[in-house]
Chains A and B, each alone.
Chain A
């Protein structure tokens, strides 16, 4: 049903007291309240305060119930008490009963942005993304300050500071971290623009003045270089050098001890290699690392292996042997071994069977009718 249009006549040019009253026609479709349009539920400050008071009271009650001192009742004690009083078998930890401080439960939100007279507090309120744009404004101001400082130094003929910032150990905040900092949603474009502005600031020679400001947005990255450490040779009672290595292939796990000044004897799980591996292929696999390095008759090997099948055990011992031989050999030869694939763990494992199929890949026989 369409509403009616009412228009009361207005007094034109009668100064500030002219009143215009106009009822604009609306349909029932517009009158229906759009529930989702107002956004997530906003909590007022008074509500949060009340929740905090209730939480503190409840904490004391809980302490009394458990027979503990209310003054020294920590959050861990609360968690334990709740787990004891309300045991739950649910898998999701978030779904179990919990009692936490309201600041952790209710997400931090923006409070109302304008005062009683309706004037917003922030001067960039009407842009929509006030924190983000004020951040950009501040950063640009820092760039201008640094440039002004640079100009001053140039006029005084002083040298510009060239201490290089350590870029390797730090990274910028991620988009999610920045969103948490600003309490606002950002787009990828906005985030990349901000990072570009920061990079520009850092690239200026005299950027050391604003070091405090830049550090707010950079994080330390622990150096994660995991260079493979080749263990040094160990010596047993007779003075013979030896080295150990571990290897795996499919489900087989093997450890090998390679001794120097040997005759090429290989023992597997206490038995000789000829008895343990009747098949030539497996013995060839074991000999491959020695053959590659040209040290066939020079080393002895004692290994233990478990799990897997025939070929898997052979592959596992091969890998363990190659790892042990790294200690006897120069770095260049280690690189050659790596390139030959002797030091890489074979990632292939048995693929699982899927429902609706007979095997991992094989489908059931297709019948036309």
Chain B
């Protein structure tokens, strides 16, 4: 049992997450396109490659690194049987995100966020509820273009977060920010595909390792 848990941590990329995506895939899915210069958030400046005709372009090299770290972390959490909650408040992609979560066997929340969901969980859901171990944001802003409540609540409850941050978002409280476009359907479909594949891969590996351990 100890071997199962310690072995993945000794490899830098145990789940070979790097081969799931390439720079060209990100470019084709329009991940590098940000918002206009006026919408730019101050803390996103390090992640921006440049500005063309007033539109910000996100640095895909940095995105590659951040995405690899984020997917690796998600895979480790899924391997250890953690609860992953997909959050997005974009109405366009609500159905897509919920279907992705259902396909992975994880959970989704793309609806109105009630204030005490994480911080007041024992009263809202009942005693003995287990909180999510990872929050994945496909879009960090809510319907009124303000930072989503869940980022702050997760930070309060010591829950790590992975989030796709666009040029108008605040990457501060997110543990593994991934600078990238969160408005194009192509980009969001790519993210959903990547997360789904990592989680399924990690769970399969866990089942295989358990089977191998049992045989011994």
B residues 18-52 near A (Cβ < 8 Å) are none
- CB-CB under 8 A for A16 and B6, given A38-B127, A124-B107, A126-B107: yes
- List of A residues within 8 angstroms of B124 by Cβ: 128
Nearest residue (CB) in B for A189 is B112
B5 touches A (CB below 8 Å)? yes
Q: Interface 1/0s, chain A 114-138, versus B by CB < 8 A?
A: 1001111001111111000100010
The minimal Cβ–Cβ distance linking B116 to chain A, given in whole angstroms, is 9
Size class of the contact patch on chain B: 20 to 34
- List of B residues within 8 angstroms of A112 by Cβ: 126
Of B94-102, B170-178, B191-199, B207-215, the segment with at least 4 beta carbons within 8 Å of chain A is B94-102
- List of A residues within 8 angstroms of B105 by Cβ: 123
Size class of the contact patch on chain A: 20 to 34
A126 close to B81 (CB less than 8 A)? no
The minimal Cβ–Cβ distance linking A228 to chain B, given in whole angstroms, is 50
B81 close to A117 (CB less than 8 A)? yes
CA distance A126 to B129 in the complex (A): 10
- CB-CB under 8 A for A119 and B109, given A16-B9, A38-B127, A114-B129: no
- List of B residues within 8 angstroms of A114 by Cβ: 129-130
Beyond A113-B126, A118-B128, A126-B85, 6 additional pairs, beta carbon < 8 A: A15-B6, A16-B5, A120-B83, A123-B102, A124-B107, A126-B132
B111 touches A (CB below 8 Å)? yes
The minimal Cβ–Cβ distance linking A193 to chain B, given in whole angstroms, is 11
Nearest residue (CB) in B for A129 is B111
7 interchain pairs, CB-CB under 8 A: A15-B6, A113-B125, A118-B129, A119-B130, A124-B108, A126-B109, A133-B111
CB < 8 Å: which of A37, A38, A125 contacts B107?
A125
The interface of chain A, by Cβ under 8 A from chain B, is 15-16, 37-39, 112-114, 117-120, 123-129, 133, 137, 140-141, 144
CB < 8 Å: which of B95, B109, B125, B126 contacts A137?
B95
A123 close to B106 (CB less than 8 A)? yes
The minimal Cβ–Cβ distance linking B23 to chain A, given in whole angstroms, is 32
A140 close to B126 (CB less than 8 A)? no
- CB-CB under 8 A for A118 and B127, given A126-B107, A144-B95: no
CA distance A133 to B107 in the complex (A): 13
A123 close to B129 (CB less than 8 A)? no
CA distance A126 to B127 in the complex (A): 14
Nearest residue (CB) in B for A110 is B126
- List of B residues within 8 angstroms of A38 by Cβ: 126-127
- List of A residues within 8 angstroms of B6 by Cβ: 15-16
- CB-CB under 8 A for A120 and B107, given A37-B123, A114-B129: yes
